Amino acid sequence: MQSTETTPLFSQASRSLTWTESVPLRLKPYIELARIDSFIGNPLIFWPCAWGLTLSTRYVLLQWYLVTYAKQLGIWLLWSILLHSVGSIWNDICDINVDRQVERTKSRPLPSGKISIVSALLFMIPQVLVMLLLLFRFNDRTILAGLIQLFFFTPLFPLMKRITALSQVWLGLTFAWGVIGPWLGNLVIVAVSWQILSALVAFGTVWITYSYTLYAMVDRSEHHAAGIKSTALLLGEHGKPLLSCLAGLFVIGLAQIGVLTHQGSVYFLISVCGGAAHLVWQMSTIDLNDPVSCMARFKSNGGELGYVIWIGMLLDSIFWKFWILHGLNL
């Protein structure tokens, strides 16, 4: 794959949002370090949280749903933003020397020298403390799930890129683990179905692995030269058929989760069929040798696809509640 130094998509300036122009210059490197200027990875952390919470509240009364669901969704959104920031900072600290060798990342605050490692750590620690404050609002099981995600899965990702080509699978497990906390944090649930949670984590891992393999395709030639391992390099010339298999497995997973959680026709029509259609579009239009194409499909997973699946879950849950209120049986 040829280097794409002239592609505007990958310049640091092109990633910045308009509102960052009004931020004081001394703060801009910290915004870039936390990825607040791009939000590319935030949705992929948030969607498993949103899906877990939405599925867990299917049998909750509508009065509780309207207030508490929105409140908890906001908490997990903030958790996702902070986790992405903390994970990005830690990853950049560990990868500072590698990032200096990659065109797309060499202008980041740490490899470019705009911020020191000490300053990055001092910026990261308060965010971790806020995450702990959010977490300790919930029950013991939710706290444990969050601590595992924050202090076990997240810090080990940079190491995984050095020892295994399946580092994107580890990242997938890290993000998909986020489905557990919101599910266990729903105090209305009396019994915990570990079969459902295991399925959610497993198929969520497949989806994130698929998504971040597309992301890794962007820099695979430079990562190969720098000694960084990834699923993009592992797949080699068989990228498209194997990625298609991952996409198909995820759709099967969505259907299986629908069966396990007793979802209705709205879920299967929007989340499963809509999600499948979007993934077919991705695989039929992507050019794995074009970094711009790979990045666009990666973004669409956290964007359009995430919304389609969540909206199907949400509408199915709301319709079910209205049917119950009117004495109907779904």
SS3 content of the chain, % helix, strand, coil (to 5): 75, 0, 25
Higher pLDDT, 14 or 212: 212
Confidence band of 19 (pLDDT split at 50, 70, 90):
low
pLDDT of residue 75: 95
Residue 187 has pLDDT above 60, yes or no: no
pLDDT tens readout for residues 158-170: 989 888 888 899 9
pLDDT of residue 29: 86
pLDDT of residue 15: 45
pLDDT of residue 227: 67
The mean pLDDT of the chain is 85
Cα angle 142, 135, 158 (rounded to 5 degrees) comes to 90
Residue 190 has pLDDT above 70, yes or no: no
Question: Cβ–Cβ contacts within 10 Å for residue 19, how many?
Answer: 10
Higher pLDDT, 325 or 130: 130
Residue 12 has pLDDT above 50, yes or no: no
Higher pLDDT, 91 or 20: 91
pLDDT of residue 250: 97
Tell me the mean pLDDT in the region 222-238: 75
pLDDT of residue 126: 97
Q: Most confidently modeled of 160-169, 258-267, 321-330?
A: 258-267
pLDDT of residue 65: 66
Higher pLDDT, 188 or 133: 133
**Residues near 171 by Cβ (< 8 Å), separated by ≥ 6?**
157, 160, 208, 209, 212
Residue whose tokens read 């592609």: 7
pLDDT of residue 325: 57
Tell me the mean pLDDT in the region 283-291: 92
pLDDT of residue 327: 57
Higher pLDDT, 167 or 101: 167
pLDDT of residue 274: 98
Superfamily, domain 8-325? UbiA prenyltransferase (1.10.357.140)
pLDDT tens readout for residues 44-71: 999 999 999 999 887 666 666 678 888 9
pLDDT tens readout for residues 105-132: 788 889 888 999 999 999 999 999 999 9
pLDDT of residue 191: 60
Could you write out the DSSP letters of every residue in 264-323? -HHHIIIIIIIHHHHHHHHHHH--TT-HHHHHHHHHHIIIIIHHHHHHHHHHHHHHHHHH
pLDDT of residue 86: 96
Show me where the domains of the chain are located. Answer: 8-325
Confidence band of 178 (pLDDT split at 50, 70, 90):
very high
Higher pLDDT, 194 or 153: 153
| H or E element in which residue 125 lies | helix 117-135
**Of all residues in the chain, what percent carry a pLDDT higher than 90?**
55
| H or E element in which residue 81 lies | helix 70-94
pLDDT of residue 162: 84
Both structure tokens of 323: 């049917």
Whole-model pTM?
Answer: 0.86
